[in-house]
A and B are shown apart, each in its own frame.
Chain A
């Protein structure tokens, strides 16, 4: 069962007494071959879980870095089928690192929820975050994902009060993604102190691990978040590395994996000497 990979990963890390580092990259950015190499290299560089963006033309919750990543991927002909093919290739060499797809509703509507959930599960996808499908619109998608045993990962945000949290955590599994700031990806900066009580609230409401993302750019910030949450997600900062490496004509894979290593190292060292908070 595919969802088991997420649960096992968080259970193992809890036993180790450390938080997870989650790396976000956009499938097909800057091109399919490079993105496939990056994906394959992420676990060894220290990514405990992987969020794999699937591109959409109109990503309304993304800041400029991920908007441009989606445009680069689409310009190179990336498709949702191509995204699942990337996951299939990845699974040939890695059976343990969870992969969470992240993107927008319309490509899924186009594929059809049931067919997509089945194909994604078969490809080795463990969970999916659909940014513009809130619980109110998620019943059909949730049914399809349940049948395929793929987790529907939900977003909780600074605007989610306790009543809203109860709605959000219904039909979710794997973990909950706490959006650290009201805003788009990669613009405002996350603040671990402000985030901590919200993480606790979300944990209590969901009984699930809580990953924090949006606005984590540096190893220091990632470490601070990993002290208060179960996972720290970095996306825009990695995508920026890809963009800059392309522009400077550098080795894209090497540069982005180097950044992943420094972030992962900081997360791994974050709780040394600190008692496990979970």
Chain B
């Protein structure tokens, strides 16, 4: 399907429309049982968004519980190493629970409580969103069930244990390919079964409207802070903003406040897995085509028949065959550029960041780091590049060790 959007919008930030569409992408492709709930959620979110008390409450928790604002850090040694633009890292890995995921979870749990919901469900891939959800559920005393693919449960054991410590029940999903997409199917099946009391806390800027918009709004705190911080430190906006893309919540969070600034290049990095040419990747935009999954029209990795194919990435957090609908649209209208990085390139970037900056990045964020040198050199010496360091890499040390042929 080709895009019918054609002309560039006057105001990128005006999307989605009332039907949850970003051009052709987005929408609400869910079973009828869920439609009234999706409308209810939409209405509740509009009301919360318009309520200053909701913002005050959220901001207070973001400051005192999450630890915002996160620093914007001049990465002097990475800058020198690449020999191009000045590199700044947005330190989302310093948030409570170790990634950007908590920004969204805090917003949604406050919304769930406003709606009178008493039970929280979530899906998780790497476990970062699961941990962040379990954390806010513990903080506010709500029962929490996290669906996680059985394959991911196996490769992310420390996060499973963290969720259990936080009081969440982790349900291993064995259906389908037993990874993130199947965890999302199972969470949707739970929601359709428990319509009275349950709030589905989706972790990425995908799924049915209003989730892509809502998750983006809650994550946009990242980009808003970057604007203020870079103006204070450099007196001008950056030339490029770089972020990794699975579903794309950290990327849309840092991109969105810059959409109207055409001089700021927005660069997403998808997971190329073992290489785009092998077909074993998780790059929906670069290696897929538009279709419908999990409630929205978006780029998907799928076969000729429209059956969804398994994604492949060293990073459980990027191992998803789709991408948020706003990214699909930003790609089609040309406002953002989507590159790829392989497993091996990301491992090299992981080591580089550890050795030069003393920061273990999440293997997800390492995908963005893997393209950072190209971007910095392309922008050149007088330029400024901001990279969203969306999570910390402690959870990945076993994976990295295994790939380096070491045992720990």
Count chain B CB atoms within 10 A of each CB in A58, A71, A158, A168 and give the residue with the most. A58
Name B32's closest neighbour in chain A (CB-CB): A155
Task: State which of A105-113, A218-226, A247-255 sits at the interface with chain B.
Answer: A105-113
Instruction: Give, as a whole number of angstroms, the nearest-CB distance from B35 to chain A.
Output: 5
How many pairs of A and B residues are in contact by the CB < 8 Å rule?
123
Residues of B within 8 A of A61 (CB): 31, 33, 188-189, 192
**Interface range, B side:** 35 or more
Residues of B within 8 A of A184 (CB): 189, 192-193
Instruction: Give, as a whole number of angstroms, the nearest-CB distance from A59 to chain B.
Output: 8
Residues of A within 8 A of B27 (CB): 136-137
A133 touches B29 (CB 8 A): yes
B302 touches A106 (CB 8 A): yes
CB of A119 within 8 A of chain B?
A: no
CB of A79 within 8 A of chain B?
A: yes
What 1/0 mask marks residues of chain A from 172 to 205 whose CB sits below 8 Å from any chain B CB? 0000000100111001100000000000000000
Bound together, the chains give a CA A71 to CA B307 distance in angstroms of 11
A131 touches B302 (CB 8 A): no
Bound together, the chains give a CA A154 to CA B33 distance in angstroms of 11
Count chain A CB atoms within 10 A of each CB in B35, B195, B304 and give the residue with the most. B35
CB of B97 within 8 A of chain A?
A: no
Within 8 A of B (CB), among A125-164: 131-134, 136-137, 154-161, 164
A57 touches B308 (CB 8 A): yes
Instruction: Give, as a whole number of angstroms, the nearest-CB distance from A160 to chain B.
Output: 7
B295 touches A164 (CB 8 A): no
Name B186's closest neighbour in chain A (CB-CB): A60
With A56-B307, A58-B181, A110-B306 as known contacts, state yes or no: A105 contacts B29, CB within 8 Å.
yes
B294 touches A109 (CB 8 A): no
B176 touches A57 (CB 8 A): yes
CB of B19 within 8 A of chain A?
A: yes
Instruction: Give, as a whole number of angstroms, the nearest-CB distance from B176 to chain A.
Output: 7
B36 touches A160 (CB 8 A): yes
Bound together, the chains give a CA A106 to CA B29 distance in angstroms of 10
Instruction: Give, as a whole number of angstroms, the nearest-CB distance from B90 to chain A.
Output: 33
Q: Specify the main secondary structure of chain A where it touches its partner.
A: loop
Bound together, the chains give a CA A80 to CA B305 distance in angstroms of 7
Instruction: Give, as a whole number of angstroms, the nearest-CB distance from A273 to chain B.
Output: 35
What 1/0 mask marks residues of chain A from 84 to 128 whose CB sits below 8 Å from any chain B CB? 000000000000000000001111111100000000000000000
B193 touches A182 (CB 8 A): yes
**Interface range, A side:** 35 or more
- Quick one: which of B176, B181, B193, B305 contacts A183, CB cutoff 8 A? B193
Name A55's closest neighbour in chain B (CB-CB): B307
Bound together, the chains give a CA A164 to CA B37 distance in angstroms of 11
Residues of A within 8 A of B192 (CB): 60-61, 182-184
What 1/0 mask marks residues of chain B from 186 to 213 whose CB sits below 8 Å from any chain A CB? 0011001111000000000000000000
CB of B284 within 8 A of chain A?
A: no
Count chain A CB atoms within 10 A of each CB in B31, B193, B294, B297 and give the residue with the most. B31
Residues of B within 8 A of A210 (CB): none
Bound together, the chains give a CA A183 to CA B34 distance in angstroms of 10
Residues of B within 8 A of A206 (CB): none
Name A104's closest neighbour in chain B (CB-CB): B292
Instruction: Give, as a whole number of angstroms, the nearest-CB distance from B190 to chain A.
Output: 9
A sample of 21 cross-chain residue pairs with beta-carbon separation below 8 angstroms, ordered by A number, consists of A57-B309, A59-B185, A60-B31, A60-B188, A67-B175, A74-B307, A80-B305, A105-B292, A106-B306, A107-B307, A108-B306, A132-B29, A132-B292, A156-B32, A157-B32, A168-B32, A179-B32, A182-B193, A184-B192, A187-B193, A188-B193
8 shortest interchain CB distances as A-B pairs: A110-B306, A183-B193, A107-B306, A157-B33, A155-B32, A105-B292, A61-B31, A57-B307
